Structure formats: structure tokens, C-alpha cells
Structure 1
Amino acid sequence: MGIESHFYIGRAERIVIAILLCLVSTALALYAWGSHGVSTEESKQTHVSHDSLHRSKDYVGPPERLRHKSSNKFTRLVQLDLNKADSLTLIKVPGIGPAFAHRILALRQKLGGFYTPLQLQEVYGMDEDKFLALKGWFVIKTPPRRYLLDSLKPEELPEHLYLSWAQRKAMAKLLYRHGHISSWAQLMRDSSFTRDDSVRLSHYFIESKSR
């Protein structure tokens, strides 16, 4: 038996092979078309800009009235007065949402206003990266609420976030004893006040000459 007999392919075998080749070619063509079609459709559904929703055939986003549109965000850097900006203005700043805006306003109210944008570091949940991203958006044009030291009354001392109970007690004691507080030098003689306390509080409790 010659070697040709081992590789002889009859007519029936040739037909089977031709059918198999056609099936394989059709399957490959369908796979290539299907993959292209899916990726194109997905790209239409999920390729969205940074200020729009990611959608699919099963998700079209919330109702329009409930939608927080990031298109309302500032598109370029502006400097806002930190003591005047309201919540609607704050949420226009990239990186600030409604909850974070509420925290900023809550701290501002407790302080009676900010005296420096650096105080944003005291907002709950503020980390270094977020602070560095936000600080350039804010300036202080409107000063915080201030109290004249020599106008304070012992029975009407304000409750300030930076002022501890012991410090309020020391201030009341000085007022009862001397009738007034003339300067921070006078306050600093009391052990309740440190240099750091004077740096923080002197922006809110000021001497007459500093007015």
C-alpha cells in the first residue's frame, strides 16, 4: 500500500470538511461582528462626560427634579468669601457636596466666622488632599464676629468654640476683680491661656486698638 493511500480523501470527506470550514468561518465572523456591536453599544451607553450619568439599558438615572447636576460646578477657579458663601455656592466648588457644605457652614456658625481658610482643616472629614484641593477657592473678605476685650461683662461672656470653660471662668474672675480686660498680655498672665490660645482667640476677642 503506497503512502498516497493514507492521505486519500474521498468526495464525502471533502464535503464534510468544506461544511466544517464554512461553519467555522461563519462563527468567527459572527463573533467578530457581535463583539464590535456590543462594544459600540456599550460605548454609547457608558461613555459619558464627567458631568453626566453613567447609564445602561436598565438604568436611566433619577428623576430630573432629584438630580444633582455636576454641570453646575464651577468650571474655572474663582475665589469665594468663606464667610459669605452659602450652601448653594459651596456645592458648586469641585469636591464639595451637600454634606460637606453643611459641615463647613456648621463650623463657621460655631466659630462666628473664619479668620483664615486654613481653618477648613478643622472641618470633620477634611483630609490633607481634600484641603489642598479646596484652599485655593477661598479667601476671607468679611471678618468673623469680634468682641472687644474691654467691653466684656462677666455675666455675658460669649460661648465660643475656641474658648474652654476654664478660660471663661478665668476671664470672669479678671472682670470681677478689675472691672475690665485691657489686653491679651493681661489674659496671658493666667495659666488657663497658652500662646496658641492667644493666637486663635485674638482674632475673635480683640483689643480696642486692634479694632
Structure 2
Amino acid sequence: NSTKPVIYPFNPNFITDYKGYKLGMSVEELDKLFAFRKENKYVNSAKEFQTVTGVSDSLLNAISPYFKFPDWVNQPKKQYTSYSNNKFENKKPIVKVDINLATQEDLIKVYGIGPALSERILKQKESLGGFVSMEQMQFIWGLSPEVVENLNKHFIVTAEPKISKVDINNASVKELAKFPYFNYSIAKEIVTHRSMNGEIKNIEDLTKIKGLPSEKIKIIALYLEF
């Protein structure tokens, strides 16, 4: 009896190992998707799903009719075009604002940013004491690559903010764990590393700390006092 299993609409960003296997995806294809998702990125179309995973056209044709993306993926574009039909609006040169001075209203003007994401950006800024680089936008949960690109068109870091730097060699586990790019287990690793190897002197020493996200190390170093 070879009745095909019923497939219900699903968001391909949240495919599990088991579901992927049932759909006919290979381990490599699933791993590529998981690696992409690990960077807090989302696929927003069937074509993007194929680009990320490398699934064959035939498999894509078989499963993509069941892909269901959240409404906001398809919606904002319509609202956006209707409200910027003003011919002059598109010709205005963009004056970049310092991200550290941006208000919630400034952020919401950016296509793809709503109240929740703007609040998340402001909270992250507050907890860090300020952004040191626009690169940090890609570390904020929920910002798609497209939105990060839009933010980069409108904002800039003009001057290094006055942040109170983390004293990496003297701070306690509790103090270190408060820093947004660390967590409790990284804080423990830092303290262990200090007691085993002496002071942490530079970026190279940071790379030896287990669990520290390598793509953030250059940014993290700017918040530290060695």
C-alpha cells in the first residue's frame, strides 16, 4: 500500500531532521539549512530555500507548493509601494544617521522594521552601552539579511560611543555573564582560562576561549579592557 503521506503547509525555516528526511532531503541539504538558520537568517522564498540547501529542481517542485511563509514576508512590499508613490521620495539622497542616536521613529522608517524589531535594536544598544559597528545588526535576532542591508543604507556609527568597557581580566563570572555577547558558560570559560593561562591580552587569546562565537570576536574585543 503506497499511499503518499499527507503534507500540510509548513514554514521551511523550521524543518526538523525527521521532517526533512520524510520530505526526501539529504543530510547534507538539511545541514546547509541548519547552518544558515544558526546565523539567525531566514529563507523567504522557495528559490532562496534551493539556493541555501542545494535541493534538486524536482524535489523543490514536489515540496515547495507546501511552503508557507509568515504574512509579513509577502505583505510589507505592497504597503511600501503604495505609500512611496511620491516621485520625489525615491530621489532624495539618504542622509545617514548615527545608529546610536536613532529613535524608534527613525528605525521604523526603514523598510522591514516594525515596533518589535525597533525595540529589540534599542534594547540591544542599551544593554551594550552603544553600538561600535553596523556589523552588529546581523547579530540581532530576527533581522533578515535584507533588513540588515536596509539598516546599513540609513545608519552609520560616526563616533565610538562612550561605553564602560568590561575588565576581562578582573571581572567576576557574574559580571562577565551580564555582557550581552557572553552568557554564563562563556563567563565561566573566561575565568577558567585566566586561572590556567594568566591574563587575556588580545584578540588571539580570546579565540582560545571555548564557546566564544568567532564571528563576533572582533566586535567583542572593542567592548573589553585588556
Normalising by structure 2, we get a TM-score of 0.47
Question: Which has the higher Rg, Structure 1 or Structure 2?
Answer: 1
TM-score, reference length from structure 1? 0.49
